[in-house]
């Protein structure tokens, strides 16, 4: 058993999730930012891959007081659990992931993370699971999350972890905001990273809904992964 997984992302019309400079270019409109926070408020966990975790040290909270209040009124923690998958944990233990907002923090890593680093994060209150190298077993990790009570989760990137969840058939739904802009650039990251697939192995999707989300013409597209 594993949680229901929604991949949530924002990209430009040409499929870019950042510019070629890779400095975290803003893509979402204010309307999409609100939607993404509402989506967070409705799940048990928010998940990110190693690059996002270690390089961006994200907060992953619902941020808005009214959303936190709604969760408390429903008998839920103020924020969903924060989950990170990384072969080597280089996260700042005093950064936002660990310290911003009351939330359960769950980390999956490998022996590439030194034992003393694991101890530091455990002492700081994180739940850490160490998988055999060379990388975290994502299927096993999702099974662990299910055992921990996580029934619905969103994956917020980046491109490498989205590729792996897709390749392994571990995602159920894709929600993608398409901004009416073009970044261009052969080296700019796209929504799905990794090595890709041949046309014969393309991952099929089933369209669920399309919505014009903001006055500028940004679209929210929802797909189901075909089983």
- In angstroms, rounded to a whole number, what is the distance separating the alpha carbons of residues 17 and 156? 11
pTM for the structure as a whole? 0.95
**Token couple for 15:** 């499929």
The confidence score (pLDDT) of residue 18 equals 93
By CB atoms closer than 10 A (0-12, 13-18, 19+), residue 8 is buried
The confidence score (pLDDT) of residue 200 equals 92
- Residues contacting residue 67 through CB under 8 Å, at least 6 positions apart: 37, 38, 40, 41
Which residues in the chain come in under a pLDDT of 50? none
The confidence score (pLDDT) of residue 157 equals 85
The confidence score (pLDDT) of residue 22 equals 84
The confidence score (pLDDT) of residue 226 equals 82
The confidence score (pLDDT) of residue 23 equals 80
Angle at 187 between CA 182 and CA 201, to 5 degrees: 90
Structural domains of the chain in order of their starting residue, each with its CATH number: 4-225 (3.40.430.10)
The confidence score (pLDDT) of residue 179 equals 98
- In angstroms, rounded to a whole number, what is the distance separating the alpha carbons of residues 172 and 169? 8
- In angstroms, rounded to a whole number, what is the distance separating the alpha carbons of residues 50 and 158? 8
- Residues contacting residue 131 through CB under 8 Å, at least 6 positions apart: 108, 109, 110, 137, 140, 141
- In angstroms, rounded to a whole number, what is the distance separating the alpha carbons of residues 189 and 87? 20
User: Among 189, 196, 156, which residue's Cα sits nearest to residue 19?
Assistant: 189
- In angstroms, rounded to a whole number, what is the distance separating the alpha carbons of residues 10 and 190? 10
Classify the C-alpha dihedral 47-48-50-52 as positive or negative: negative
Secondary structure letter of residue 53 according to DSSP: I
Per-residue pLDDT tens digits for 32-63: 999 999 999 999 999 999 999 999 999 999 99
């Amino acid at each position: 058993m594993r949680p229901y997984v929604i991949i949530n992302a924002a990209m430009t019309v040409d499929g870019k999730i950042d510019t070629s400079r890779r400095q975290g270019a803003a893509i979402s409109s204010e309307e999409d930012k609100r939607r993404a926070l509402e989506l967070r408020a409705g799940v048990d966990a928010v998940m990110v891959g190693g690059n996002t975790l270690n390089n961006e040290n994200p907060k992953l909270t619902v941020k808005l007081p009214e959303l936190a209040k709604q969760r408390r009124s429903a008998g839920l923690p103020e924020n969903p659990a924060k989950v990170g998958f990384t072969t080597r944990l280089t996260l700042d233990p005093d950064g936002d992931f660990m310290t911003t907002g009351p939330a359960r923090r769950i980390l999956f890593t490998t022996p590439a993370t030194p034992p003393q680093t694991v101890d530091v994060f455990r002492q700081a209150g994180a739940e850490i699971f160490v998988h055999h190298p060379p990388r975290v077993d994502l299927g096993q990790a999702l099974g662990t999350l299910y055992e921990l009570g996580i029934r619905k989760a969103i994956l917020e990137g980046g491109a490498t972890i989205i590729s792996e969840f897709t390749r392994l058939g571990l995602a159920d739904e894709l929600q993608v905001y398409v901004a009416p802009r073009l970044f261009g650039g052969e080296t700019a990251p796209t929504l799905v990273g990794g090595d890709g697939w041949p046309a014969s192995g393309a991952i099929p999707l089933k369209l669920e809904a399309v919505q014009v989300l903001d006055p500028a013409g940004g679209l929210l597209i929802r797909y189901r992964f075909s089983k």
